[in-house]
A = this chain, B = another copy of it.
């Protein structure tokens, strides 16, 4: 169907977010213009303002949705009777979730500085809640003598940084399956905490 003037509120909103997501990830928030986003969607720039009050809110909306999805999923997917089992499920969940959403992840970690101070504070709160999930597992493991970790806070940040690194090289259809990648990172993570 050719694009014509008219009402498309149901589909234009998601299309704007999808276009913004891809463009922000590829070129960076500051380097992308509202006109470019509109062009990708197939509308004029002015039409975007029916969906977002401004460019900053569009970025915040993307990051907020990502963090909420991440927090909801980690809560339902991380489980196990022992700290080691829970750590494994966290590592595998994190790798899988991040592999599936490279653009969201990239933006959430790279465009923090493009947020207004208020929006930054909100996203940071959500991020800390996610880190706390992992740190609680590590603390449990240390208390129970299952892990050897000198500093759970630093280990948390170090592990997450290591896991995030998967998105710098993983591409779907490469030589390794997602499960294989999960297994490799789980091996490294398990050894890193002395489990």
Task: Check: A65 CB closer than 8 A to any chain B CB.
Answer: no
| Copies of this subunit | 2
Distance between A192 CB and nearest chain B CB, rounded to angstroms? 4
Task: Check: A71 CB closer than 8 A to any chain B CB.
Answer: no
Instruction: Tell me if A188 and B155 are in contact (CB < 8 A).
Output: yes
Residues 88-130 of A contacting B (Cβ, < 8 Å): 110, 113-114
Q: How far is the CA of A181 from the CA of B151 in the complex (A)?
A: 10
Known interface pairs A161-B161, A168-B161. Does A28 touch B114 (Cβ–Cβ under 8 Å)? yes
Selected contact of A184 from candidates B26, B151, B188, CB within 8 Å: B151
Which 8 A-B pairs rank lowest in CB-CB distance, beginning with the nearest? A161-B165, A162-B162, A30-B31, A30-B30, A192-B192, A188-B192, A191-B191, A158-B162
Instruction: Tell me if A168 and B157 are in contact (CB < 8 A).
Output: yes
Task: Check: A145 CB closer than 8 A to any chain B CB.
Answer: no
Q: Which residues of the partner chain B approach A192 to less than 8 Å between Cβ atoms?
A: 162, 188-189, 191-192
Q: Mark A157-190, 1 if CB is under 8 A from B, else 0.
A: 1111110111011000000000001011101110
Number of interface residues of A (CB under 8 A): 36
Q: How far is the CA of A30 from the CA of B111 in the complex (A)?
A: 12
Q: Which residues of the partner chain B approach A161 to less than 8 Å between Cβ atoms?
A: 161-162, 164-165, 168
**Can you give 19 contacting A-B residue pairs, CB < 8 Å?**
A26-B113, A28-B28, A28-B113, A29-B31, A30-B30, A30-B31, A110-B110, A154-B169, A154-B181, A157-B165, A158-B185, A158-B188, A161-B161, A162-B162, A162-B165, A188-B193, A189-B192, A191-B193, A192-B192
Listed residue (A158, A166, A169) with the most chain B CB atoms within 10 angstroms of its CB: A158
Task: Check: A194 CB closer than 8 A to any chain B CB.
Answer: yes
